[in-house]
A and B are shown apart, each in its own frame.
Chain A
């Protein structure tokens, strides 16, 4: 968040806490190596996630099933039809939420920004409930557009409300604006699902946020939206770095703050709206991961964004695995696990003196 970067460098074994003022070639090489290590972590978690479940499959057999084609083998069927899509969903959705969280924190310069807290999830949820209850839509491709629209409207409402007046949007303001807008939307959703029992039955499973039971075809239809969002995020790294120096400085460096802010909102909406439409609202991933990534990379968006994406994918995969092993006969959905992991982090952030005083 802060643009002042103290050059705290530890021994060569431990990475520096934040970016030195001038990042040299060696620094970049270390970041790249770290990023590769994180990608490796994601792959390991994906293989583990494919192996763990009601039918345990050894990692070696998982790799074998992934690399060969053997429709007669039980392992192959389980891996290819259910476990592999699930892990791919974890990677794609996690990366999208991590990117969206990092973009949101950069845009609002707000350490508490998160799609769940800022009403984007509630907007998507209200639109999904509305389209299933009123229009009787039941397929992903039908309500992804509704979810995108709902997410965009809610995000814009929270942002406009939070930035009202002369002073900028403080963390407290945005959290409150998000709470207020979410409260209205939640009440609307409650009304809709109570008027129509069928909608309640669909909605209550969607509402907790789970990676279970997803099909590969939904993933294919999801990719254009998430790909466009991710591409936009990649293009935004430099302009967001410039804006972090302050809007006036950014302008004098040739950046366009207004255009950048609009594009960032569009990217956040694409990433969160499509992800939420597919797997339901998953809170706190977008909040937690950019903080973790910032400890490694410092404030440079060119590194922060890819690190956030990869680490968030790892976190969501891990949450999904934890949810499968923590209870004896049942599954705890990934959305519940991330809420239980993320809320303590949020509270720790709030308790830090700097934010509490804002």
Chain B
């Protein structure tokens, strides 16, 4: 009667599995407050396995293709040695593309975990509530209307994403933005922006329309080192901020009132997480286009694998990296020699996953 039928685990269960590692050196101001890290063996193992899988995808990506490069040569190139042929193919073509995929995927996974936690709903991810469409609109305006170069595309994307997220958040706000209202408002705003995007594409010249459409689908074709460095800088700034937010976000999952009673500055944590998530979404969209569903799926799959509560920020990041790099190599090889943009694959697979999640949830009578 107790364990098999009730989905909710006994409250003591997960807490008992976590070891607390007090870090004495990091004593925070105030009596008896130490910074401790929750350590969940299962989550750690899942994270390590995901990282291994991503490494395997990396090896596969770097060695295979039209031109086979043995692992030893890849290692030499990585170490900076000169290998004729492999230098260019690995160092200039495959490696930057792989790194871009890993870093964009990581940013998307992390932003998905942040958004889903503050929306307290698995569907509150940036691609469902219109933030990616908004940054795409910003980028399309810079490309097609202002005719600006690659650097300003990022600026347009960030502005578009920030404006959209502010609009969605304000429109959904009625003494709190949580729940389905946020998602429905996001769906409304994104259908408005989709119309605007279609309009921009129809107005453009054919060549511009074609490249904009490829970009709008989400693609990693021809990504080079400049994209890698953009993403490295993004994650170097926003990653630590997300880590700092992880602990108060976990407490927010108990509800805003409880968290506030436990001393969490709810407003500040929510708006901080929103800002970090917007930055991650906007810059990864600027680099790879609005790649659909990675931000939605990564935290969801991680939650099923780790069975841990909380935002699972680190594992979601690794999962995002794995998902996008795997999708990209699959999209390149599936219809070879024709190369599909990666967004087609993540869109179809991620959309089917969403259908499955909804069907499962509703059959069991939730939502």
Q: Which residues of A contact B210 (CB under 8 A)?
A: 197, 200
B352 is an interface residue with CB less than 8 A from chain A: yes
- A interface footprint on B183-213 (CB within 8 Å = 1, 0 otherwise): 1110111011011101101110010011001
Give how many A residues have a beta carbon under 8 Å from the other chain's beta carbons.
54
The total of interchain contacts (Cβ-Cβ below 8 angstroms) comes to: 156
A153: Cβ under 8 A from any B Cβ = no
B67 is an interface residue with CB less than 8 A from chain A: no
14 A-B contact pairs sorted by A residue (CB < 8 Å):
A161-B355, A162-B362, A176-B358, A177-B355, A180-B355, A187-B344, A193-B213, A208-B195, A335-B198, A336-B195, A343-B189, A346-B188, A347-B171, A351-B171
Contacts of A241 in B (CB 8 A): none
Q: Does B359 contact A (CB under 8 A)?
A: yes
By CB atoms of chain B within 10 A, which of A173, A283, A356 has the most? A356
A211 CB, nearest partner CB in chain B, Å: 14
B364 contact set on A, CB distance < 8 A = 165
**A152-195 interface (Cβ within 8 A of B):** 161-162, 164-167, 171-173, 175-177, 179-181, 183-188, 190-191, 193-195
Q: Say yes or no: is B343 at the interface (Cβ < 8 Å to chain A).
A: yes
Rounded to whole Å, the gap between the CB of B145 and the closest CB of chain A is: 12
The interface size of chain B toward A, counting residues with CB under 8 Å, comes to 55
- A139: CB under 8 A from chain B? no
Once the chains bind, are B213 and A200 in contact (CB under 8 Å)? yes
The majority secondary structure among interface residues of chain B is helix
Give me the 6 closest cross-chain CB pairs, A-B, nearest first: A187-B347, A184-B351, A339-B195, A343-B192, A191-B344, A183-B351
Interface positions of A (Cβ within 8 A of B): 112, 116-117, 161-162, 164-167, 171-173, 175-177, 179-181, 183-188, 190-191, 193-195, 197, 200-201, 204-205, 207-208, 283-284, 330, 332-333, 335-336, 339-340, 343, 346-347, 350-351, 353, 355-356, 358
Which residue of chain A has the shortest Cβ distance to B192 in the bound complex?
A: A343
In the complex, what distance in Å separates the CA atom of A180 from the CA atom of B297? 13
Q: Bound state CA distance, A355 and B350, in angstroms?
A: 28
* B169 on the A face (CB < 8 A): no
CB pair B195 A175 closer than 8 Å:
no
Residue of A187, A195, A284, A346 with most chain B CB atoms under a 10 A cut-off: A187
Q: Are the CB atoms of B206 and A201 closer together than 8 Å? A: yes
Q: Inside 8 A of B352's CB, which chain A residues have their CB?
A: 184
Given contacts A201-B206, A205-B202, contact A161 B358 (CB under 8 A): yes
Q: A172-B180, A183-B292, A347-B171 are in contact. Are A117 and B213 (CB under 8 A)?
A: no
B347 adjacent to A184 (CB under 8 Å): yes
Q: In the bound complex, do residue B354 and residue A180 qualify as a contact, i.e. CB atoms below 8 Å apart?
A: yes
Whether A351 contacts B181 by the Cβ 8 Å rule is: yes
- Is B153 positioned at the interface, with any CB of A under 8 Å from its CB? no
Known contacts A183-B354, A201-B206; decide if A161 and B199 are in contact (CB<8 Å).
Answer: no
Query: Of B206, B213, B355, which is within 8 A of A184 by CB?
Result: B355
Contact B362–A165 (Cβ < 8 Å): yes
